[in-house]
Amino acid sequence: MKRAFDILIAIAGLMALWPVLLAIGLAVRLDSPGPALHWSRRVGRDNAIFLMPKYRTMRTDTPDVATHLLEDPGRWITPLGRFLRRTSLDELPQLWSVLVGDMSLVGPRPALHNQDDLVALRTAAGVHRLRPGVTGWAQINGRDDLPIPDKVKLDAEYMQRRSASFDLMIILRTVLSAARGTGVSH
C-alpha cells in the first residue's frame, strides 16, 4: 500500500510540478557554473548505495562531505542555493527517486555515503531495513539541528510507529516546516 501511494504521489507531483522543476533547473544553471542537478551518493535500504538527485545548491568544487562538516559552509553555498535549502525546493528532484523505488515519501533521510557514524547507528537500531524518505520523523523534529544519536532515536521511533496516518501527518508537518524554512542551519 505504501509503495503504491509513493508511486501515485511521485507521478502526480512530477506531472503537476514539471514547469516549476524546469524553472528551478534553469535558475540554478544561471545562478552559478555547473549542472542544475547534483547526484549525491547516498545510503539506501539495507545500506545499498544509490544516486539521489537534488538541485545543486553548492559550488561544484565543494568537498563531498555533509554540510555541517565544512569549515565555512556559507562560502560554498550558491546565492540561489540558500533559498532552495531554506524552502526545501532543492529536494523536489527526489520525486524521481521515489518513482524508481530508491526512496519513499516518508522514511529516514538517506545518509551520505561517507557518514559511517550515522550508518552504523542506524544499522544497530535496524533502521537500515527501511526505504529512506524525502522527509521523515527526524526531519520535522529538528532537521539539521539534531545530533546524530537523536536522529537515529527518532528514526527508530518512526520504524515502530509506521502507519499511513503517521506518514500523512509527517508529510503535512513537512509542508508547514518547508513553508516556514525552519530547521535548516545552512
Residue matched to cell numbers 521515489: 98
- CA 59 – CA 164 distance, rounded (Å): 38
Residue 176, in any domain of the structure: yes
Residue ranges in the chain assigned as alpha helix (H):
2-31, 79-87, 94-100, 116-125, 148-161, 164-180
Whether residue 51 is predicted with pLDDT greater than 60 in this model: the reply is: yes
Whether residue 6 lies inside any domain: the answer is yes
Burial class (CB in 10 A: 0-12, 13-18, 19+), 27: middle
- Amino acid 86: pLDDT: 87
At residue 182, the pLDDT reads: 58
If one counts every other C-beta atom within 10 angstroms of the C-beta of residue 100, the result is 11
Residue range 114-129: average pLDDT?
A: 95
- Give the tens place of pLDDT for each residue, 91-109: 999 999 999 999 999 999 9
Q: What is the pTM of this model?
A: 0.88
pLDDT band for position 184 (cuts 50, 70, 90): low
Section 19-45 average pLDDT? 96
Closest CA to 159 of 183, 123, 118: 123
In this prediction, residue 15 carries a pLDDT of: 97
b/e sequence 159-180, b meaning 16+ C-beta within 10 Å: beeeeeeebeebbeebeebbee
Decide if 45 is inside a domain.
yes
For residue 186, tell me if it sits in a domain: no
Domain coverage including residue 65: 2-180
d(CA 158, CA 152): 10
C-alpha cell at 170: 509527517
Q: Report the pLDDT value the prediction gives residue 181, as an integer from 0 to 100.
A: 62
State the pLDDT at residue 64. 79
| Model pLDDT, residue 125 | 97
Model confidence at 73, pLDDT cuts 50, 70, 90, reads: confident
In a domain, 32, yes or no: yes
Whether 185 has a pLDDT exceeding 60, the answer reads no
Mean pLDDT, the chain, rounded, equals: 92
Q: How many domains does the chain contain in total?
A: 1
Domain membership flag for residue 185: no
Assigned domain for 112 exists:
yes
- Cβ–Cβ under 8 Å, residues 44 and 131: yes
Whole-number pLDDT of residue 70: 76
